[in-house]
A and B are shown apart, each in its own frame.
Chain A
Amino acid sequence: MAELAEQPSAKKTRILVVDDDPFLRQEIALHLMGAGYQVETAESAAQALEVMDAFHPKIVLTDWIMEGMDGLALCRALRQRKNGRLLYIILLTSHDAEDSLVSAFESGTDDYIPKPVSPRILLARVQAGARLVRLQLEVEQARREQAERERMAQQIQRAHKMQAIGSLTGGIAHNFNNYLAAILGYTELAREMFPGVGDGQLDEFLANIQQAGSEARDLVISLRSFSSGGSESRKVPLLGVMLDDIVRMLQPVMTASIRLKADFESDVPLVLVNQDQMYQMMMSLCINAREAMEGAGEIDLRLRHVHEMRSTCASCHEWLDDDYLELSVRDTGRGIDAETLQRLFDPFFSSKDVGRGTGLGLSVVHGIMHGCDGHILVDSEVGKGSCFRLLFPVDPLATQADDVAQQGVGSVRSFS
């Protein structure tokens, strides 16, 4: 007995005793409590099910024959519950026929104790059950830790990938700008030095080169926004008023069957943003939303202060545990599948048809948000819609945005 003695922690194992006989119920409970277990009792299967959520037993000891729902039915019901497979269920029974016992095990029972109950058998079998429960918990714990390690490793890998792509695109942008400088420079020189050559046809061709070159330049600017988080320009407080302006500018790119809804909290902490970048991000997100809804649906824009955000950034995968000013764009579109979600922020990755998108929109959003120490969250459900949430860090010492808008900017945190 001494060898099998359980560790003190195992004695705290919670056991639920279910029996409609008050005397037997009481007696079993007393024996178990005497052995150091935490015990709760129920006089019926229905009551047992009610107690489950509050008590969280690891072991359930139930009588077989009871009024209403019997022990086997309770067994089946318990196994159906969330985490029910982890319960250790012992049946008290005076049925010792082979068929009966087999049907008990088939109903999900782990063990049985014959009636009349011998206190020594009771404790020995409960102890064996507690040992199994403990092992199972250890396995479960190890599995969870392993899954967590794998998740972390994956996040680190993805974060590294984003960084690598960032420096790669920065390098590409640099070289492209050199080529474009030569292409556009010589084209402009040619147009200026040789006007009217070939009845103006040459000029027309050169104008086309210039046009294509300018488009390439704009593309490189987008790439650079991704790799560096964008450039310096005018900073304004992120406020509903400014967003209203942006919404007005977005209206023309929406179809008549898309409803743009805006709900901007007025009492928000002060965050300074670059207005052009805000416009660029909102444009990207809203155009994506429009495409996802195939021209009809609702886009819901919201600005609110989120306290103690606990989530992981969708693009850099950093764990977030802070206060943020959140600007969200929710659509009622087709949603994003899990595979696409993984690659959402990769440059040149596009789920749109070839020629419909550059695949840079969200990369730029990633670059701008991280350039200002912000983050992005994405919730999406296939067939229901998606929600992109831009998180701007809030300085706990910052004043309210409204105060500043009225009094002029004082000592506040600013972002590029």
Chain B
Amino acid sequence: MAKILVVDDEAQVRGMLAKMLSVEHHEVIEAENGVQGCKKYREHQPDLLITDLVMPEKNGIDMIMELKKEFPSIRVVAISGGGGITGSFDYLPVAKLVGALHILQKPFTLQALKSAVVEALRAPGLH
């Protein structure tokens, strides 16, 4: 059981992720954009950050980079619907570059999420 911060601007996806994780007995904190995500990460210092990439206010890549400076061994799983709102640029590989341990393409299976979480939590972290 771990403390996990879920950041996604889509309430449906965020709720679904929270449900999937709580079924696995994790403690879930939710945020709906990068700004909120940064704030809640500092506040709760979770074991894992699961974040969407294309979001208003502050996008996932910027959030990961900002948090990485403060928390160098932050554990991140990035998820994305692929492409941007208006374009076809794929942010997932970029997330990997800025330090995401795993990337998941939406829609993903429960099993894929479970194993990404297990593996990410196994990585050496802050706490």
Which A positions have Cβ atoms within 8 angstroms of B?
A: 166-167, 169-171, 173-186, 188-189, 192-193, 213, 217, 224, 227-228, 231
Closest A residue to B104 using CB positions: A181
A228 with B81: in contact, given A178-B106, A186-B16 (CB under 8 Å)?
no
Contacts of B82 in A (CB 8 A): 173-174, 177, 224
Beta-carbon contact of B13 and A178 below 8 Å: yes
Beta-carbon contact of B23 and A213 below 8 Å: no
Which B positions have Cβ atoms within 8 angstroms of A?
A: 10, 12-13, 15-17, 19-20, 23, 54, 79-90, 105-110
Contacts of B90 in A (CB 8 A): 228, 231
Beta-carbon contact of B10 and A182 below 8 Å: yes
Checking B20, B80, B107 against A213 with a beta-carbon cut-off of 8 angstroms, the contacting residue is B107
Beta-carbon contact of B85 and A171 below 8 Å: yes
Beta-carbon contact of A177 and B107 below 8 Å: yes
Checking B17, B81, B88, B109 against A188 with a beta-carbon cut-off of 8 angstroms, the contacting residue is B109
Contacts of B110 in A (CB 8 A): 185, 188-189, 192
Main SS class of interface, A: helix
Known contacts A170-B84, A174-B81, A178-B106; can you find 8 more A-B pairs with CB under 8 A? A170-B87, A170-B89, A178-B13, A179-B12, A180-B107, A181-B81, A184-B109, A192-B23
Beta-carbon contact of B107 and A189 below 8 Å: no
Contacts of A193 in B (CB 8 A): 23
30 interchain pairs, CB-CB under 8 A: A166-B88, A167-B87, A170-B86, A170-B88, A170-B89, A171-B84, A171-B86, A173-B81, A173-B82, A174-B81, A175-B85, A177-B82, A177-B107, A178-B13, A181-B16, A181-B81, A181-B108, A182-B15, A183-B107, A184-B107, A184-B109, A185-B107, A186-B16, A186-B19, A189-B16, A192-B23, A193-B23, A217-B107, A227-B88, A231-B90
Contacts of A170 in B (CB 8 A): 83-84, 86-89
